[in-house]
Structure 1
Amino acid sequence: MSAFETLRIANTALGAHQVWLDALAGNIANANTVRSTDQEAFRATYVVFDPRGDGGVDVAGFAQSDPEGRMVHSPDHPLADADGYVRLPEIDMSAQMSQLVMAQRGYQASVQVTKSAQDTYTAALQIGAR
């Protein structure tokens, strides 16, 4: 595999991991978003990936969590209904944090692959210049 091919594949991975990190950041930031029971809950975003036939990965689209969320009894909350319930998103923080670690590690690995491919290409140019 050429250095350019390695860079192309690593670039698709960098982009995909960045989108994943952005989606996770939004989910984590809104995990405690409270809405009244007559509104939809915050909908967590999940990235759907599609492997390329020639290497690399694309973001195929996004999936969202259930708008029903979960009902929580919180009678003192200003958005509580007559029965004392509010709506929270259905976000599993432990799953989000696990995915965050995976996305960070994948991004870091893609950066390292990019750096190695650039170093290889630079070394080849230096050999050719002699």
Structure 2
Amino acid sequence: MGAFDLLRIAGSSLGAHQTWLDALANNIANVNTVTPTSQGAFQAQMPVLASAAGGGVEVTGFALGDATGRLVNDPSNPLADADGYVRAPDTDLASQMTQLVMAQRGFQASVQVTKDAQDTYSSALQIGRG
């Protein structure tokens, strides 16, 4: 492992957690988005991660939720069909909020690793000067 691999690995973790946070924000923003029953529901996104060459992680794509969603009776909605139904996403807000906390904690941990690595490298440079 090279001298600066720790920063590269922590940086890849920061990027992965930021992507996760962005996807969760989009999912939460669209939890109440409805469509006509003739269309698919909003599909929640979840980043798919894989090990990167040389360490760290990378986002390789996104897994999508079920487009079937659930039918909701809302006859006053302008998108409702003749029976008064609209299609809503099958996204659980509580689950999304729980994942949001996990993604935030992971991001914070990656930031702390980056800070600790910078402090260590800075100390090593000070030793080299003395």
TM range (shorter): over 0.9
Structure 1 unmatched runs, 5+: none
- Equivalent residues in 2 for 1:48-127, closer than 5 Å: 48-52=48-52, 54-127=54-127
1:7 aligns with: 7
Structure 2 unmatched runs, 5+: none
Q: Deviations over 1:31-72 (max 9, x none)?
A: 000111112111111111112364211112111111111110
Instruction: State the Cα RMSD in Å.
Output: 1.3
Q: Deviations over 1:70-113 (max 9, x none)?
A: 11011111211110100111101111111101100000000000
2:37 aligns with: 37
**Length-normalised TM-score, structure 1:** 0.94
- Number of residue pairs matched by the alignment: 130
Structure 2 Cα separation of the partners of residues 2 and 54 of structure 1: 10
User: Segments of 4+ in structure 1 off by > 3 A?
Assistant: none
**Length-normalised TM-score, structure 2:** 0.94
Q: Secondary structure at the match of 2:9?
A: helix
Percent identity, aligned pairs only, is 64
